[in-house]
């Protein structure tokens, strides 16, 4: 069994990716500092796959701990790196926390990966690197615009660090996956999104409102230049996104890459407005959602959805699940964690 390290493997996307890696026969080692996740997620993973990943609680900002880890696990065949802070708004108020946590950790990790026999590295990037793209759908060749937040900047700089490292280390093979908007939960409702405090993202706010934790959803702006006035995003089911990581890893492990640093947009290729997401939720849940139109949110872009031709044709991956599938899975997860 090939051993794969998943950093941030108890997080939302990380845990779903661990399940898909185990389904494909990989042995998984998880590093997580539990700063934005819970050890209970490990039980959730085991209850789905009946395979217990190796787990090490470790702070990737601690360089010597990272070195020790790789002395112990020198048989790692691939690394998928999720561990990072990811709240756009928080990053504006705490830039140094984001630059230290998201970039130092990447540098320490890459230093150790260069010392491995073989190294396939998958980086968790984001469509945030495009800012408000000029053309829809967004291709991987769209210009990278000045980041609108320190969070987005750490993704842009992260890709540059990897690109420059790959240039002078031809044995390092890397892929950056630029996610659009991950939503939903595993069909088993054993793992899902666990926002701490008031959710910043749309879908957990919708399901918490429907569960009675929030009195209503604020729709941030209905005066945008879109068909119904609300912002458009590409909402991708987290299970489809998780599978994209396995496709990317296998591409590198099988030596199919065209160059030793590649980027792929991972989305559905379909744009959905906030109101369309609300309608999807009401359709699949049979519940009417309490929402109000309020002012725009600072920093929001009008529209972003992926051109997925490259991932479909070159990676051989295509999203399979619909917006309704994702909204139903998100609602089932919310009901599971609230015992509804």
Judging by DSSP bridges, how do beta strands 272-273 and 232-233 pair with one another? Answer: antiparallel
Helix, strand, coil % over all residues of the chain, rounded to 5: 40, 20, 40
Restricting to residues 126-155, name those near ligand WQD by CB under 6 A. 126, 128
Alpha helices in 254-304 (DSSP H): 274-285
Q: Is residue 151 annotated as a catalytic residue, yes or no?
A: yes
Min dist. Cβ of residue 263 to ligand WQD (A) = 15
| Least distance CB 264 / ligand WQD (angstroms) | 15
Q: Which residues contact 212 (CB under 8 A, 6 or more apart)?
A: none
Up-side HSE of residue 117: CA atoms within 13 Å toward CB? 8
Interface with ligand WQD in residues 276-305 (CB under 6 A) = 297, 300
- Give, in degrees to the nearest 5, the angle at Cα 219 between 214 and 222: 165
Task: Find where tokens 């750490």 sit.
Answer: 154
Distance of CA 145 to the CA centre of its chain: 20
Joined tokens for residue 326: 């994702």
Other C-beta atoms lying within 10 Å of the C-beta of residue 298: 9
Total of residues contacting ligand WQD (CB under 6 A): 19
Catalytic residue selected from 98, 108, 130, 151: 151
Contact partners, residue 254, CB within 8 Å, separation at least 6: none
Q: Which is nearer to ligand WQD, 4 or 219 (CB)?
A: 219
In the bound state with ligand WQD, the residue whose beta carbon lies nearer, of 173 and 181, is: 181
- Binders of ligand WQD in range 47-106 (CB under 6 A): 86, 88
Q: Which is nearer to ligand WQD, 75 or 223 (CB)?
A: 223
Q: Per-residue contact track with ligand WQD, 180 to 219, x per CB under 6 A?
A: -x------------------xxx--x-----------xxx
Please identify which residue in 16, 81, 233, 245 interacts with ligand WQD, judged by CB under 6 A.
233
* Nearest approach, Cβ of residue 20 and ligand WQD (Å): 19
- Least distance in Å: CB of 105 to ligand WQD? 16
Q: Is residue 321 a contact partner of residue 237, using CB atoms and an 8 Å limit? A: yes
Rule CB under 6 A: choose which of 129, 274, 284, 330 binds ligand WQD: 274
Backbone phi, psi, residue 220, to 5°: -75, 80
Phi and psi torsions of 251, nearest 5°: -60, -45
Residue nearest to ligand WQD (CB): 231
Least CB distance from residue 178 to ligand WQD, whole Å? 9
State the nearest-atom distance from the C-beta of 189 to ligand WQD, in Å: 21
> Nearest Cα to 180, choosing from 16, 291, 301?
301
Nearer to ligand WQD, 85 or 165 (CB): 85
The smaller minimum CB distance to ligand WQD, of residues 68 and 92, is found at 92
Nearer to ligand WQD, 81 or 86 (CB): 86
CA dihedral (14, 19, 25, 31) in degrees, to 10, reads: 40
Based on the shown chain and the rule CB under 6 A, indicate whether residue 220 belongs to the binding site for ligand WQD.
yes
Residues annotated as catalytic are: 151
Residues that bind ligand WQD (CB under 6 A): 86, 88, 126, 128, 179, 181, 200-202, 205, 217-220, 231, 233, 274, 297, 300
């Amino acid at each position: 069994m090939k051993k794969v390290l998943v950093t941030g493997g108890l997080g939302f996307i990380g845990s779903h990716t661990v399940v898909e890696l185990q389904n494909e026969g990989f042995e998984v080692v998880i590093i997580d500092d539990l700063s934005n996740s819970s050890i209970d997620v490990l039980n959730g993973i085991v209850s789905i796959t009946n395979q217990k990943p190796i787990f090490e609680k470790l702070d990737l900002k601690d360089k010597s701990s990272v070195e020790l880890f790789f002395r112990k696990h020198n048989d790692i065949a691939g690394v998928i790196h999720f561990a990072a802070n990811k709240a756009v708004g928080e990053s504006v108020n705490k830039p140094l926390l984001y630059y230290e946590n998201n970039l130092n950790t990447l540098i320490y990790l890459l230093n150790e990966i260069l010392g491995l026999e073989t190294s396939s590295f998958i980086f968790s990037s984001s469509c945030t690197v495009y800012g408000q793209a000029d053309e829809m759908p967004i291709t991987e060749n769209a210009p990278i615009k000045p980041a609108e937040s320190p969070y987005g900047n750490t993704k842009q700089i992260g890709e540059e660090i990897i690109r420059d490292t790959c240039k002078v280390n031809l044995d390092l093979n890397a892929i950056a996956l630029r996610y659009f908007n991950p939503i939903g939960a595993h069909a088993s409702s054993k793992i899902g999104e666990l926002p701490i405090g008031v959710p910043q993202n749309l879908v957990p706010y919708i399901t918490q409102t429907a569960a009675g934790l929030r009195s209503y959803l604020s729709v941030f702006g209905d005066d945008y230049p879109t068909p119904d006035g609300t912002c458009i995003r590409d909402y991708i089911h987290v299970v489809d996104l998780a599978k994209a990581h396995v496709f990317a890893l296998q591409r590198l492990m099988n030596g199919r890459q065209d160059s030793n640093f590649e980027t792929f947009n991972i989305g559905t290729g379909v744009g959905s407005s906030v109101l369309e997401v609300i309608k999807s939720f009401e359709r699949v849940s049979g519940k009417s959602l309490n929402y109000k139109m309020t002012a725009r949110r600072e920093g929001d872009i009008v529209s972003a959805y992926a051109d997925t031709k490259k991932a479909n044709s070159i990676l051989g991956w295509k999203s399979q699940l619909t917006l309704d599938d994702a909204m139903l899975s998100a609602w089932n997860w919310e009901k599971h964690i609230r015992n509804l």
